[in-house]
Amino acid sequence: MNKIYSMLGLASKAGRLVSGEDVVRNSIKQKKVKFIIISEDASENTKKRFLNAAEFYKVPVAIWGHKERLGFSIGKSERSVVGICDQGFEKSIRTLLSGTAAKPIEHIGENSGGEPNE
């Protein structure tokens, strides 16, 4: 688990990670985000909003970690959601997450045709 937090910290220092709900949402819309991590203790509304956006924009997502640790790992305050903007970091983090109890959710297929709830 510590390797994942370390990888998130590296991605942040490299400028390949975005955090905070508004920034991540805008980056998803701009198709910059390759992978989303939503904290397990995020509000149900936040989870729903980002799961809808992930489905609409076809971005893979996992529900993993806790707000405090996600924020701490990237040198920030609590973060409910982070977005990985680099394919190399995405692949590494997803590989590390595959060995955990993370709940990966792949959004593949047709979308509903409407904008996600925001």
pLDDT at 105: 62
Return the closest-CA partner of residue 52 out of 2, 99, 109, 116: 116
The domain containing residue 51 runs over which residues? 2-105
pLDDT above 80 for 111: no
The answer to whether residue 48 is domain-embedded is yes
The answer to whether residue 23 is domain-embedded is yes
Domain count, the chain: 1
The answer to whether residue 117 is domain-embedded is no
What are the residue ranges of helices labelled H in 1-118? 2-13, 21-29, 44-57, 67-73, 87-97
Give CA–CA dist 114/118, Å, rounded.
Answer: 12
pLDDT tens, position by position, 66-107:
999 999 999 999 999 999 999 999 999 999 988 776 666 654
CATH code of 6's domain: 3.30.1330.30
The answer to whether residue 81 is domain-embedded is yes
The answer to whether residue 113 is domain-embedded is no
Model pTM? Answer: 0.85
The answer to whether residue 114 is domain-embedded is no
**Average pLDDT rounded to a whole number, residues 23-51:** 97
